[in-house]
Amino acid sequence: MGTVLLIASGKGGVGKSTLTSALAIALGRKDASVCIVDADIGLRSQDTLLGVSDSVVYDLMDVARKGCNVRQALVRLPGEEDVSLMAASQFARAKELDAKDFARIIRELKATFGYVLIDCPAGIERSLRVLASSEVDGAIAVCTPDEVSIKDARRLCQVLKERKVKTPELIVNRLNPLLIKAGEMQPAADIAGELHLKLLGEVPEDVNIYRALLTNRRFMDLDCEAAKAVTRIAARLRGNEIQLPAYGSHRLNWLERRRLKKLTEV
Ligand SMILES: Nc1ncnc2c1ncn2[C@@H]1O[C@H](COP(=O)(O)OP(=O)(O)O)[C@@H](O)[C@H]1O
Ligand SMILES: [Mg+2]
């Protein structure tokens, strides 16, 4: 039986979808079979992020309504044989998804895949509660290093606890090592401590994510810090002890000192 993880956040736009697709690719490259379920109904993004929009015929709602079977709604990623996607529906509403139907789909997927990563919509409302079924093995909370996102992550944890989902592990995304060094941004370890969550990963702000989108590539194919960070997260999920980078704690080299000076002059 595979492991089913919710990738969730209280606040929107913190990088859930970006990290879900990248993590799936990283896990696939470590010989795990992975299925991404895009559960952000009405606002689907995984098909675009992964460059497979044209291959999507059936989606999550089609399976839920028994318009097709699970296998028919899976799209395999070209070049990443171990990664499949079940796309969200573009025109349905989140409230149309029935909790029992979703749990049935997840049960079937976890019998086939090593990992099922559920890309959740932001927030703590009904749609999250529907997704947090008893089939879920755990959750990854994503937040950015700002007060609102951290506060919303705390609320998310409460809701997941109410739904009896195991305490999530945390990924802090969009970290800026220089700002942390300058004392203007909280380090990831402090945020995890504040939230009483285990820190699963730290991902830096990385322009290559934007660059990859712009050129229809996947940033996991680029030699960049964000890709390395996600690869480390995948290794940790696979049970390997990989040290966290603790962005902002290392000694700065000459170039970084100059950049920091410029940054703090603003
Ligand atoms: N580490 C990062 N560095 C730079 N941009 C990022 C990073 N993580 C996410 N983004 C950008 O932030 C925006 C929101 O990300 P997205 O994954 O759609 O968030 P969510 O799914 O939580 O709403 C996207 O434009 C994405 O490219
Ligand atoms: Mg999203």
Best of 16, 17, 18 for a ligand 1 pocket test (most atoms within 8 Å of beta carbon):
18
DSSP state letters, 48-68: HHTT-GGG--S-HHHHHTTSS
Q: Is pLDDT of 30 > 90?
A: yes
16 or 259, greater pLDDT: 16
Count of the separate structural domains present in the chain? 1
Q: How far is the CA of 64 from the centre of ligand 1 (A)?
A: 28
Averaged pLDDT, 7-33: 97
The model's pLDDT over 41-97, given as tens digits with 9 standing for 90+, comes to 989 999 999 999 999 999 999 999 999 999 999 999 999 999 999 999 988 888 899
Q: Which atom of ligand 1 is nearest to the CA of 40?
A: 21
* Number of separate helices (H) and strands (E) present in the chain: 11, 8
Atom of ligand 1 at shortest range from CA of 213: 27
Q: Which atom of ligand 1 is nearest to the CA of 174?
A: 1
Of 187 and 254, the one with more pLDDT = 187
Q: State which residues form the domain around 151.
A: 3-265
User: Hey, which of 23, 120, 209 would you mutate to test ligand 1's pocket, going by the most ligand atoms within 8 Å of its Cβ?
Assistant: 209
Nearest CA to ligand 1 atom 12: 15
- Using the mean position of ligand 2's atoms as its centre, give its distance from the Cα of residue 43 in Å: 8
Cα(45) to ligand 2 centroid in Å equals: 7
Burial track 10-35 (b if 16+ CB lie within 10 A, e otherwise): bbeebbbbbbbbbbbbbbbebebbbb
Q: What is the pLDDT of residue 123?
A: 87
The predicted structure's pLDDT at residue 255: 84
pLDDT at 254 > cutoff 90 = no
206 CA closest ligand 1 atom index: 3
Residue 204's SS3 state is strand
Whether 99 has a pLDDT exceeding 90, the answer reads yes
Q: Which residues are CB-neighbours of 167 under 8 A, at least 6 positions away?
A: 157, 160, 161, 197, 198
Q: What percent of the chain has pLDDT over 70?
A: 100
CA distance 142 to 188: 11
Question: Residue 174 is part of a domain; what is its CATH number?
Answer: 3.40.50.300
Give pLDDT, residue 263: 78
With 80 as the cut, is the pLDDT of residue 264 above it?
no
Residue-level pLDDT at 120: 96
Q: How confident is the model at residue 194 (pLDDT cuts 50, 70, 90)?
A: very high
- By DSSP bridging, strand 138-143 and strand 3-8 are parallel
Task: Kindly indicate the confidence band of residue 266, based on its pLDDT and cuts at 50, 70 and 90.
Answer: low
CA 13 to ligand 1 centroid distance, Å: 6
pLDDT band, very low/low/confident/very high, at 252 (cuts 50, 70, 90)? confident
- Ligand 1 centroid to 100 CA: how many Å? 31
